[in-house]
């Protein structure tokens, strides 16, 4: 009889946890796509800005292209009530109503906090209130949490006494604490770790529940910064998989300090990296070219390929780099990047051999920016790539 009871309770337990297991295996099955308020609005973001972004994501076609998360970054936080529950500040008078508005558009709402006492902007963090904050987010209807190290770094430095192993363990424990708090809500909330690649985050972030984790410092809307952090991702492909993504920070496409060609490099590189595609521009004021870059469904498909493989560098000779990304059904994306220095920019022919990107037979090729079929490629391919530009190809056996 005792054995039968044990079997009964074991089956009951499996029935209870199986939905959570299914949830964890399907959450962020492809890199998250959406918009974040920080790159354009920073500390000035308001409820009205977020609603306008949601409206623009629908009217521009971004939602239908896969951009579904509308993420509020830092400076939304107010004070805690007498019981310790966080309240939004006057810029966000009713967070639950905002979530309902975003959901009514077929979109999802993201929010921001820190494992430290204060956020990077000096607002209220989640330190000591992890369970309360997770429950509050779930009650509001939040679907995504960006959790930024910020002031917790001061606690790590003070308590680790300079021991990097102790500091690393503390950081992992802090992120795991919020992960457990999120699980207790029984609401699917994508968990985005923002810790700037500290302590080789790609090696441990999945173990503390991270669906994505920053691998770099902050991006800026400049060619030098974008390429520095983007091309530094070479070698990290083995750490990415469905539900778990390396994150080189948000997109700067459309913020105005790079050329359209440079933004195509930005979008192409992030797609090759299977990076989250989180736009950071003013969606209400997109130029046609910005819209074309962000809404290029063939490039998005490279990023969102269900195989879930990150691309990697094949070759680098001077400023010329060739990258390859495995796709479903034996296809591959191949990107040719011309990183020639801004002081001496020059267009240049670039080549790759099929055997160097994993093909032993001729392949069908398509240019994903010109949307042109190129026919069969035999042995090798050569094309002129503009300075600070890219040619992105889809190759099929």
Alpha carbon distance 378, 124 (integer Å): 59
Q: Which fold has domain 312-396?
A: Immunoglobulin-like (2.60.40)
Catalytic residues: 148, 218
- Per-residue pLDDT of 379-390, as tens digits, reads 999 999 999 999
Alpha carbon distance 146, 178 (integer Å): 11
Segments of the chain assigned to CATH 3.20.20.70: 24-303
pLDDT for the residue 247: 98
Q: What is the pTM of this model?
A: 0.93
3-class SS of residue 252: coil
Segments of the chain assigned to CATH 2.60.40.1180: 312-396
Alpha carbon distance 274, 186 (integer Å): 28
- Per-residue pLDDT of 272-303, as tens digits, reads 999 999 999 999 999 999 999 999 999 999 99
Q: Which fold has domain 24-303?
A: TIM Barrel (3.20.20)
- Per-residue pLDDT of 182-197, as tens digits, reads 999 999 999 999 999 9
| Tokens matching residue 347 | 């267009």
- pLDDT band at 342; cut points 50, 70, 90: low
Q: SS3 sequence, 265-333?
A: HHHHHHHHCCCCEEECCCHHHCCHHHHHHHCCHHHHHHHCCCCCCCCEEEEEECCEEEEEEECHHHCEE
- Per-residue pLDDT of 214-250, as tens digits, reads 999 999 999 999 999 999 999 999 999 999 999 999 9
pLDDT at 325 over 90: yes
Query: Is-contact 88 42, C-beta < 8 A?
Result: no
pLDDT at 24 over 50: no
């Amino acid at each position: 009889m005792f054995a039968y009871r044990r079997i009964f309770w074991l089956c009951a337990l499996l029935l209870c946890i199986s939905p959570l297991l299914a949830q964890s295996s399907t959450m962020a099955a492809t890199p998250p796509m959406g918009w974040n308020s920080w790159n354009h609005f920073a500390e000035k973001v308001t409820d009205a800005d977020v609603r306008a972004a949601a409206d623009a994501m629908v009217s521009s076609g971004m939602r239908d292209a896969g951009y579904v998360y509308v993420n509020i970054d830092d400076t939304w936080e107010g004070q805690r009530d007498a019981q310790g529950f966080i309240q939004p500040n006057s810029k966000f008078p009713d967070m639950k109503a905002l979530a309902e508005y975003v959901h009514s558009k077929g979109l999802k709402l993201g929010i921001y906090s820190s494992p430290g006492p204060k956020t990077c902007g000096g607002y209220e963090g989640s330190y000591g209130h992890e369970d309360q904050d997770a429950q509050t987010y779930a009650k509001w209807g939040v679907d995504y949490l960006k959790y930024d190290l910020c002031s917790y770094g001061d606690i790590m430095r003070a308590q680790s006494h300079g021991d990097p192993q102790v500091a690393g363990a503390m950081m992992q424990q802090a992120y795991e604490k919020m992960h457990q708090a999120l699980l207790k809500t029984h609401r699917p909330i994508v968990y985005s770790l923002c810790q700037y690649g500290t302590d080789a985050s790609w090696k441990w972030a999945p173990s503390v529940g991270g669906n994505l984790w920053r691998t770099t410092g902050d991006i800026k809307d400049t060619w030098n910064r974008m390429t520095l952090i983007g091309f530094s991702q070479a070698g990290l492909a083995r750490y990415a998989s469905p539900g778990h993504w390396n994150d080189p920070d948000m997109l700067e496409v459309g913020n105005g300090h790079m050329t359209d060609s440079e933004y195509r490099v930005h979008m192409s590189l992030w797609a090759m990296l299977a990076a989250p595609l989180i736009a950071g521009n003013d969606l209400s004021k997109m130029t046609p070219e910005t819209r074309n870059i962000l809404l290029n469904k063939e490039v998005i498909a490279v990023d969102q390929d269900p195989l879930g493989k990150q691309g990697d560098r094949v070759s680098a000779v001077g400023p010329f780099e060739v990258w390859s990304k495995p796709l479903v059904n034996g296809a591959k994306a191949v990107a040719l990047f011309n990183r020639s220095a801004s002081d001496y920019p020059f267009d240049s022919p670039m080549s790759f051999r099929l055997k160097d990107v994993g093909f032993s037979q001729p392949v069908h090729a398509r240019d994903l920016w010109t949307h042109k079929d190129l026919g069969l490629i035999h042995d090798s391919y050569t094309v002129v790539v503009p300075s600070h530009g890219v040619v992105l190809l889809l190759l099929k056996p």
